[in-house]
Structure 1
Amino acid sequence: MSAYIIVQLEVTDPETYKTYAEQVPPILEKYGGEFVVRGGPMEVLEGDWPFPRAVVIKFPSMEQAKAWHASAEYEGPMALRQSASKGNMIVVEGA
């Protein structure tokens, strides 16, 4: 069953975040991940959304999503993202 990583974030260091964004796609590909939403215009319809940007990444399974996040390949880029933004990340199984 597919799984989705959903991220709410605010970029605080655009230059470092750009480096992160350039490094991630080939790592995602190794784990079967693909961007479904990558920034873009957004409107809150209900409730609170504490950050101005959203990212959704689709994976073939929950296991592959978690393996990507915990991988040695993603460790360096993840540190870049964490230093260049603030936000939340969850993984959820698809329907």
Structure 2
Amino acid sequence: MAYYLLIEAEVLDADRYAVYREAVTPVIAQYGGRFLVRGGEVEVFEGEYNGRRRVVIEFDSKEAARGFWDSPEYAPIK
């Protein structure tokens, strides 16, 4: 059963975020993760938008998502 990791982040340093993004992408793939949503243009139809970046990553299971999050490969990137 699919499991989704939902992230809402405020990017304060675009250069640092670019380095993080490049480092984390292969680690996510190593644990079977697939990006479903990764930033992009936002249009608000109702309510307010806080300006934070949204990311949704699909994993095959909760265990795979937890494996990524707790992995020795991800630890130094966090």
Name the TM tier (shorter chain): 0.7 to 0.9
Partner of 2:73: 73
Deviations 1:33-69, CA, capped at 9 Å, x for gaps: 0111110012345556544211000000011001100
Q: CA deviation at 1:25?
A: 1.5
Structure 1 69/51 Cα, relative in aligned 2: closer, same or farther at 3 Å?
farther
Unaligned runs of 5+ in 2: none
TM-score (norm 1): 0.73
1:19-34 matches, cutoff 5 A: 19-34=19-34
The size of the alignment, in residue pairs, is 78
Counterpart of 2:75, as a letter, is E
Match of 2:15 in 1: 15
Structure 1 unmatched runs, 5+: 79-95
| Contact kept in structure 2, 1:39 and 1:53, CA below 8 Å | yes
**In the alignment, is the contact (CA less than 8 A) between 1:36 and 1:55 conserved in 2?**
yes
For the aligned residue pairs, the C-alpha RMSD in angstroms reads: 1.6
Structure having the larger proportion of residues in helix: 1
The structure that is strand-richer by fraction is: 1
| Structure 1 runs of 4+ with >3 Å offset | 43-51
Secondary structure (helix, strand or coil) at the match of 1:72 reads: coil
Asked if structure 2 preserves the Cα contact closer than 8 Å seen for 1:35 and 1:58, the reply is yes
8 Å contact 1:42–1:53 — kept in the other structure? no
Under a length normalisation based on structure 2, what TM-score does the superposition of the two structures give?
0.87
